[in-house]
Amino acid sequence: MHRRNFLTATSGYALAALALPDLESITRRTKVSAASAVRVGKGEVAAVQQMVKALGDSASELGGGHARHLAVRYLTEDVAPWLDGKFTETTGRELFAATSQLVHLAGWMAQDEGDDTKHQGLAQRYYAHAFRLAAEAGDPELSATALRGLAVQCIDLGYRAEAVQLGEACVHYGKNLDNPRAVAYYEATLANAAAQDNDRTTATRHLALSESAIGQSAAAPGHSWAAHYSPGRWAHESGMILTRLGDLNSAEENLRLALEIHGLDRRRTRAIVLADLAGVRLRQGDTDGALATWSDFLTCAEGIRSVKVQTALNDMQVRLRRFHGTAKAAELQQRADHFTKPEA
């Protein structure tokens, strides 16, 4: 994707344009609503929450390309009328918070579905809308999570300064939360952005803060987006931060812990971690370990529609060329060629 095709003025868009939520909109809507507005209660809020979980579970397992259209259709056809409905202030805030999670999920799906301008632009707009909904709901955790979505997108696309700025905003919004997993989530985001920006001091400091927070996380932390940031997912992210910082031994240890000890229950996530671990082992000179790990990656990644998985597959194929003539590399190339063939 060409940098010039990304939405313009990213740093200004990232924070200045995001400071637009109407913080009084829910209060105002409880006082004035159209006669034809649908009445919204706890049942509708629970329905949105359940759909977020169901669609999120599917996307985490099979990739964002599988069910995004379902999330968007549910958002536009079912949820949108509820946002203009009749509700109490408490129900309204809960509805806007649940919708923020749904919109964030749609953004994550778009980002994971395609690395072209269309999908990345959609993701950015969804994340921005999720932020505004969260701010109107008065939910700082969801606000920080939406900003994290934008930060990770900037990291993936190479916008280093914008990623750091958004990472700092994540930490700011989440600083008073009584949820160690959320704190770990946002601190790791800033550490990741700083590592990409070659700022070892900032990256190391915030990685340590993230590690301290994840170590305090409760066994049953709740159902928010950040609550799903498990020790296994933290170990994966910290492993990649350490890779960027050049500490390959610690990176391998963390990636191994993510797979072997903490476990990862989603195939898409596990496939990405396996690909990352293979890359680290290759950089360490452990060719046999890298080839074996890539074999596990191919087994795990079958059927997943995800930009990150496809990128990992392409990266593996390029790197295998240096081992031309070896039986294991030839086997992996053959499997990868079959893997990428479109269905008849």
Summarised one tens digit per residue, pLDDT across range 276-289 is 999 999 999 999 99
The structure tokens listed for 60 are: 């985490």
Give residue 228's pLDDT: 81
Mean pLDDT of 119-136: 90
- pLDDT > 60? residue 145: yes
Give residue 263's pLDDT: 63
Give residue 7's pLDDT: 43
Mean pLDDT of 237-252: 97
Ranking 9-23, 41-55, 129-143, 235-249 by mean pLDDT, the lowest is 9-23
Give residue 31's pLDDT: 54
Residues in the chain: 344
Mean pLDDT of 26-52: 79
Give residue 266's pLDDT: 84
Beta bridge partners of 86: 39
Q: What percent of the chain has pLDDT over 70?
A: 85
Ranking 1-10, 44-53, 277-286, 287-296 by mean pLDDT, the lowest is 1-10
Question: Is there a contact between 183 and 213 (Cβ–Cβ < 8 Å)?
Answer: yes
Residue type, 262: H
Q: Can you give the three-state secondary structure of 48-107, one letter per residue?
A: HHHHHHHHHHHHHHHCCCCCHHHHHHHHHHHHHHHHCCECCHHHHHHHHHHHHHHHHHHH
- Predicted confidence band of residue 11 (pLDDT cuts 50, 70, 90): very low
Could you report how far apart the first and last alpha carbons of the chain are, in Å? 28
Ranking 149-153, 218-222, 307-311 by mean pLDDT, the lowest is 218-222
Give residue 325's pLDDT: 83
Give residue for tokens 């913080």: 23
- pLDDT > 90? residue 235: yes
Give residue 2's pLDDT: 42
Q: What is the pLDDT of residues 53-100, one digit of tens each?
A: 999 888 888 888 888 888 999 999 999 889 888 888 899 999 999 999
Instruction: Output 218 or 193, whichever has higher pLDDT.
Output: 193
Mean pLDDT of 217-246: 83
Give residue 64's pLDDT: 83
DSSP label at 38? P
C-beta neighbour count of 188 within 10 angstroms: 27
Give residue 342's pLDDT: 41
- pLDDT > 80? residue 18: no
Mean pLDDT taken over the chain: 86
Return the closest-CA partner of residue 255 out of 226, 284, 288.
284
Instruction: Output 218 or 130, whichever has higher pLDDT.
Output: 130
Give residue 201's pLDDT: 98
- pLDDT > 70? residue 15: no
- Predicted confidence band of residue 27 (pLDDT cuts 50, 70, 90): low
- Predicted confidence band of residue 186 (pLDDT cuts 50, 70, 90): very high
